[in-house]
Structures are given as structure tokens and as C-alpha cells.
Amino acid sequence: MKSVRTFSGAGPCITLGLILHEMDHCVSYRDRQGVRKFISKDCAVHTEPCPACPDHPRTKYPEGYWDEP
């Protein structure tokens, strides 16, 4: 099942919950408490892992936090 995530400038992306329904302009998801919520699709919300997500194959956060070079 796919998750909805939001970008975090301080570290890896934050998983908001599991997607219930994806529409053109927003995403319906169930949060950790089981509450159904909606969030607008903007540049910070995504449903596929990006390089800032810890579960992306080439993540910038292999240990779950920023890895300084």
C-alpha cells in the first residue's frame, strides 16, 4: 500500500499515513490514529519515494538522518 509523504527541510520526508484515495488536486489518507484526512497536492506532498525519503533506493538519509559528507 502506498503512503503520502511531505518534504521536511530538517531531515528525511515525513510519512503522514496510508493513501485511501488519490485525486487530481488532493490526497485522502488515514493517519496514525486512524482518522481520515485530506491534504492538497503541492510541491511538498508526494506519494512516491524521493531521494529524501528513507525508503528510496538512493536515499540521502541511509541512517534516517542527514549524513554529512
| pLDDT at 1 > cutoff 70 | yes
Asked if residue 68 belongs to a domain, the reply is: no
Range of the domain at 16: 3-46
Band (69; pLDDT cuts 50, 70, 90):
very low
Over residues 34-63, mean pLDDT: 86
Band (5; pLDDT cuts 50, 70, 90):
very high
Asked if residue 13 belongs to a domain, the reply is: yes
pTM (whole model) above 0.85: no
| Cβ 60 vs Cβ 66: under 8 Å | yes
DSSP reduced 3-state for 31: coil
Over residues 28-56, mean pLDDT: 90
CB contact set of 9 (below 8 Å; sequence gap of 6+): none
**Quick one: the chain helix, strand, coil %, rounded to 5?**
0, 35, 65
Asked if residue 52 belongs to a domain, the reply is: no
CA–CA dist 6, 42 (Å, integer): 9
Asked if residue 60 belongs to a domain, the reply is: no
